[in-house]
Amino acid sequence: MRIGLISDVHANIAALQAVLADLDRRGVDEIICLGDCIGYGPDPALCLDILFESCSAIVAGNHDHAAVGLLKDSSFNPLARQAVAYARDRLRPEQLDQLRELPLEIEREGLLLVHSSPFRPDEFPYLHSCDDAAEAFAARPFSVAVCGHTHVPLCFRSRGRPPRISVSLNPAIDLSEPGRVLCNVGSVGQPRDRDPRASYALFDGAKRSIHLHRVAYDIRATSKKIVAAGLPEALGRRLFAGV
């Protein structure tokens, strides 16, 4: 079983189409989205339609929940809040219902799939450091979890007892190695690791591996659309720098 794992599309249709084309070229059995379909980008309704068409499952992100009032957006920065309001105004009523019904986590092929963290997924904590990851590893007995949320692709591994947590940026993740894994697939529509290319992961059940991939897309087109939509210009500028 080969599963494409995408996250944080954030209404960026050019990035989503580039990633779906790359997945199609490589060949996958299914695609699963780890949330934050909307917010920041100019095409929330179109992206949501394509995601529901292309993905076998979608889990809820904090922006998805904020758009339908399941999460207060008071913790969001002003740019993010403005973009959530923009999405809310453009989604059709049935799309808002779709967002409301997304699960917070799912399991597939032994993978725990969640937007933010296996630890308190309904509160959407950020896993930036090994200390953050240690809390998530301690909270639940998963062997491999996959998430998004920080928009930074990387892999935490927990080994030994007492557990030692390490972090790796290596795109090739061997799941047959000893230890537990917490993999972040990065963001399709708004990467923040200073690499502006869209990020996603490919799980291969037979090879017991996850590989992090990057795909170039037309950032200029998305940036122009952001300005034309009346969204803050800064949301377009940051895409060029990958921050």
- The footprint of Zn ion (CB under 5 A) covers 8, 36
What is the number of the residue whose Cβ is closest to Zn ion? 36
3 versus 6: smaller Cβ distance to Zn ion: 6
Q: What DSSP string describes 40-67? A: SSS-HHHHHHHHHHH-SEE---HHHHHH
Q: How far apart are CA 207 and CA 49, in angstroms?
A: 32
**Least distance in angstroms from the C-beta of 59 to Zn ion:** 12
8 versus 193: smaller Cβ distance to Zn ion: 8
**Least distance in angstroms from the C-beta of 179 to Zn ion:** 27
Buried b (16+ CB within 10 A) or exposed e, 103-137: ebbbebeebbbbbbbbbebeebbebeeeebbbbbb
**Least distance in angstroms from the C-beta of 161 to Zn ion:** 34
Judged on CB neighbours under 10 Å (0-12, 13-18, 19+), 28 is middle
124 versus 180: smaller Cβ distance to Zn ion: 124
SS3 content of the chain, % helix, strand, coil (to 5): 35, 25, 40
Buried b (16+ CB within 10 A) or exposed e, 178-215: ebbbbbbbbbbbbbbbeebbbbbbbbeeeeeebbbbbb
155 versus 185: smaller Cβ distance to Zn ion: 185
**Least distance in angstroms from the C-beta of 149 to Zn ion:** 6
Report which DSSP code applies to 95.
H
103 versus 110: smaller Cβ distance to Zn ion: 103
Which residue's entry shows tokens 């892999």? Answer: 155
Number of H helices, E strands in the chain: 8, 12
**Least distance in angstroms from the C-beta of 239 to Zn ion:** 13
DSSP SS3 for 31:
strand
36 versus 43: smaller Cβ distance to Zn ion: 36
Judged on CB neighbours under 10 Å (0-12, 13-18, 19+), 32 is buried
**Least distance in angstroms from the C-beta of 131 to Zn ion:** 21
116 versus 158: smaller Cβ distance to Zn ion: 116
**Least distance in angstroms from the C-beta of 75 to Zn ion:** 13
